[in-house]
Amino acid sequence: MGKFKVFLVCVGFILTAAVAQAAAPIKIGALFAVSGPAAFLGEPEKNTLEMLVKEINAKGGIKGALIEVVIYDTGGDATKAVQLANRLIKDDKVVAIVGPSTTGETMAVKPVTEKEKIPLISCAAGIKITEPVNPWTFKTPANDQIAGEKILNHAGKLGQKKLALLTVSDGFGSSGREQLKVLAAKKGFTIVADETFGPKDTDMTAQLTKIRGAGADAIICWGTNPWPAVVTRNVKQLGITTPLYMSHGVASKKYIELSGVEAAEGVMLPAGKLAVFDKLKVTDPQAKLLAEYDAAYRKTFGVESSTFGGYAYDGLLLIADAIKKNGATPEQIRNGIEQSSNLVGISGVFNMSATDHNGLDLTAFEMVKIVKGDWALAQ
């Protein structure tokens, strides 16, 4: 064989290898509570991620490489989440993980992904997920501190200075309680009642009876479904007329359904703009994306989109943007996410940095009020 033919054969091998390398799928893992009490979080997250992957792949993938997503159902169990995280990393060889759905699961999984140096983009809101900052951990829901501040700013505007807290004693509730107490002290509010309930409690009338006698101007309940819905029904049953605030942890129509339209009437909470996207100004940077996401979700699944599904959307959005900028190794993805600037997502406009692995501010939320079974902007 002549030198020229040898050269052509070598070039052929190189080109073939290059094409094969370019065509190798990018494997991304996901941990969602698709079943169990937190299924209202995990189901829309799973649906959204699968829908978005299909959409990206239909357009040719990312830089010519298709995305392969491996999704496991944690059932909301922290121990199971850790086992599945190890499986994603060691057996499935993923380059990044979206999820878990809850704060407790995320805090259990964090040590695994940080040790293995795999980017984790949590779909849970607890501030302790990203504070203090670890290089390998990010999250897409706005911090509970921001949600708490949004509530207190609104309560202050209405002259509601005496507050009663009713929080669930899990990771999300404990974090919210802590943030609310710190913020209340800074902003000149008085906590006149500080009650908690367990994740398995089915009636909160005892706590609410104590709160009724405390003279609060407003009640703030912090938790995720189904327990806040129980609180809402109990408030109605006891005839309590004190204004009731919920956390962003119930920002889906499932909460209204579980509470009952009559009991939920007038409840206020900070919600991502997706809940009221059709009421936003056309100049809002998120308006177009939110409308497109809701339309696609309705078309694919036959129901309206959910704020919680948006958390998974943003997780993949951050990963895809990082790959486009830097490359598809775990370290390149990590670096790319940390460099995200003015990235418009479902949860808000992300501006990450080495000291901020959430990247959202107060503009991520709108204060909403439940009126006749639907969301309205709170005045």
The answer to the question of residue 12 being in a domain is no
Judgement on whether residues 231 and 184 belong to the same structural domain of the protein: yes
Residue 349 covered by a domain: yes
Contact 139, 175 (CB under 8 A): no
Task: Please check whether residues 155 and 261 belong to one and the same domain.
Answer: yes
> In angstroms, rounded to a whole number, what is the distance separating the alpha carbons of residues 142 and 123?
10
pTM for the complete prediction?
0.85
In a domain, 9, yes or no: no
The whole domain housing 78 covers 26-142+289-361
Q: What is the mean pLDDT of residues 214-232?
A: 95
CA atoms of 243 and 365, how far apart (whole Å) = 20
- Give the three-class secondary structure for 163: strand
Tens of pLDDT, residues 268-323 = 999 999 999 999 999 999 999 999 999 999 999 999 999 999 999 999 999 999 99
21: in domain: no
| Mean pLDDT on 311-340 | 98
Asked if residues 289 and 277 have their Cβ atoms less than 8 Å apart, the reply is no
User: Could you tell me the two tokens for 17?
Assistant: 């290898």
**pLDDT for the residue numbered 172:** 87
Q: What is the dihedral of CA 357, 314, 248, 262, to 10 degrees?
A: 180
Say how far apart CA 239 and CA 153 lie, in whole Å.
26
Assess whether 213 and 76 both reside in one domain.
no
State what percent of residues in the chain have pLDDT above 70. Answer: 94
Q: Residue 127 pLDDT more than 50?
A: yes
Strand partners, 365: 272
Q: Is residue 272 a part of any domain in this protein? A: yes
Domain count, the chain: 2
The helix or strand, by DSSP H or E, that contains position 179, with its residue range, turns out to be: helix 171-187
**pLDDT tens digits, 53-96:** 999 999 999 999 999 999 999 999 999 999 999 999 999 999 99
How far is the C-alpha of 183 from the C-alpha of 186, rounded, in Å?
5
Confidence of residue 8 (pLDDT cuts 50, 70, 90): very low
Give the CATH number, domain containing residue 264. 3.40.50.2300
Taking 60 as the threshold, does the pLDDT of residue 350 lie above it?
yes
